[in-house]
Amino acid sequence: MVAVACWPHDLNIMNGLMSGGLDKIADAMPWAGASDTSATAQAAVVKGGTLVFIRITNPSITVFDGKTEQLVGVARFTLAKESEQALLALVNEGRHPQSLMLLNVDFYQPTEHYHPPHEFIPVKSKGILRGAYTTERRELSVIEIRFSFDAIARGKRYENRYFFDSVEYNNIKIDSISEVIY
């Protein structure tokens, strides 16, 4: 196992899976945790064999303020098909996505630092996107992508300030990709 530094340094959420600013990643993914994964455009290597991920299920994101790095909240969502394909290309081949579209975004664990994404002004944010990635052989891996982005609310506005029918992420900069071992 290898440890990689994350932000903020006092992160201690998700039932204690991460604490003290360190997170475990799989040794079998040598490109994970690199600050520039585009330099290593290769298939995901897990347990000695090349596995190609074909599907992402149960995605969630932990969002931090892009300037203060304070925890904003945790949200569940559905990936637009193009966004799922973009994340699969990132994990399988190291190709960075230009943008991502999250659908039916529900901030179910907002903090006192939560401010909803704006419709016209991009909100600078950082995030830890997690999902269950399925291989061609139906093997599951929990993959975690740490990145910075600009968030813009899209679509219909609701009275519930914690739900959005879509949120677009642009200006994406990947910090690390890792397999989470529980």
Cβ within 8 Å of residue 88, ≥6 positions away: 53, 54, 55, 56, 133
**Residue 89: what pLDDT?**
97
Q: Give percent above pLDDT 90 in the chain.
A: 63
What b/e string do you get for 78-89 counting C-beta neighbours within 10 Å, with b at 16 or more? bbbeebbebbbe
- Average pLDDT of span 143-149: 98
Cβ atoms of 153 and 101 closer than 8 Å: no
Q: Which residue has the higher pLDDT, 102 or 40?
A: 102
- Decide if pLDDT at 163 tops 60: yes
Of the pLDDT bands very low, low, confident and very high (cuts 50, 70, 90), residue 31 is very low
3-state secondary structure of 45: strand
**Residue 32: what pLDDT?**
40
**Residue 23: what pLDDT?**
34
- Average pLDDT of span 93-97: 96
- Delimit the domains of the chain by residue range: 2-180
Q: H-type helices in 15-174, by residue range?
A: 81-93
**Residue 45: what pLDDT?**
40
- Decide if pLDDT at 152 tops 70: yes
